[in-house]
Amino acid sequence: MLQDKGLSESEEGFRAPAPAHGDQASAPEPALGGQGLTGTPLSSPQGQDAEQTIENIKVTLHEKELWKKFHEAGTEMIITKAGRSVLVGNQFTNLKFCLSLMVAGKAEPAMPGRLYVHPDSPATGAHWMRQLVSFQKLKLTNNHLDPFGHIILNSMHKYQPRLHIVKADENNAFGSKNTAFCTHVFPETSFISVTSYQNHKITQLKIENNPFAKGFRGSDDSDLRVARLQSKEYPVISKSIMRQRLVSTQLSAKPDVSPLHGAHQALQHYQYENGAHMQFAAAEGQDLPLNTFPGQRDSGLFYHCLKRRDSARHLDLPCKRSYLEASSSVGDDHYFRSPPPYDQQMLSPSYCSEVTPREACMYSGSGAEIAGVSAVDDLPPPPLSCNMWTSVAPYTSYSVQTMETVPYQPFPAHFTATTMMPRLPSVSTQSSQPPGNTHFSIYNQLSQAQARERGPSTSFPRDRGLPPVCERKPPSPHLNAAANEFLYSQSFSLSRESSLQYHSGMGTVENWTDG
DNA sequence: TCTACTTACACGTTTGAATGGT
DNA sequence: AACCATTCAAACGTGTAAGTAG
Structural domains in chain A plus CATH codes: 57-208 (2.60.40.820)
CB A469 within 8 A of CB A104: no
| Poorest-pLDDT segment among A213-227, A380-394, A499-513 | A380-394
Contact A291, A336 (CB under 8 A): no
How far: A207 CA to B13 C1' (Å)? 13
pLDDT band at residue A494 using 50, 70 and 90 as cut-offs: low
- 3-class SS at A477? helix
User: Is the C-beta of residue A211 closer than 7 Å to nucleic acid chain B?
Assistant: yes
Q: Over the stretch A307-328, which tens digit does the pLDDT of each residue have?
A: 233 333 332 322 222 222 323 3
Å separating the CA of residue A126 from the C1' of nucleotide B2: 54
Residue A82: which region, alpha, beta or left (left: phi > 0; alpha: psi -120 to 50)?
alpha
* Nucleotide closest in space to A136 (CA vs C1'): C13
CA-based nearest residue to A497, from A71, A191, A64 = A191
pLDDT tens for each residue of A359-378: 222 222 222 232 222 222 23
Contact A71, A407 (CB under 8 A): no
Q: How far apart are CA A204 and CA A150, in angstroms?
A: 26
- Across the beta sheet with A151-152, the strand order is A84-85, A139-141, A151-152
Nucleotides of B under 7 A from a protein CB: 2-7, 10-15
Instruction: Please report, rounded to whole angstroms, the spatial distance between the CA atom of protein residue A26 and the C1' atom of nucleotide B22.
Output: 28
Measured CA A226 to C1' C18 distance, in angstroms: 13
Residue nearest to nucleotide C17 (CA to C1'): A239
Predicted confidence (pLDDT) at residue A251 exceeds the cutoff of 60: no
The pLDDT assigned to A196 comes to 83
pLDDT at A19 over 60: no
Which whole-number Å values give the CA distances from A81 to A84, A123, A148, A194, A285, in the listed order? Answer: 8, 32, 11, 12, 36
- Those residues whose beta carbons lie under 7 A from strand C are A 31-32, 78, 84-86, 89-90, 93, 137, 196-197, 203, 206-207, 210, 212-213, 215-216, 222-223, 226, 238-240
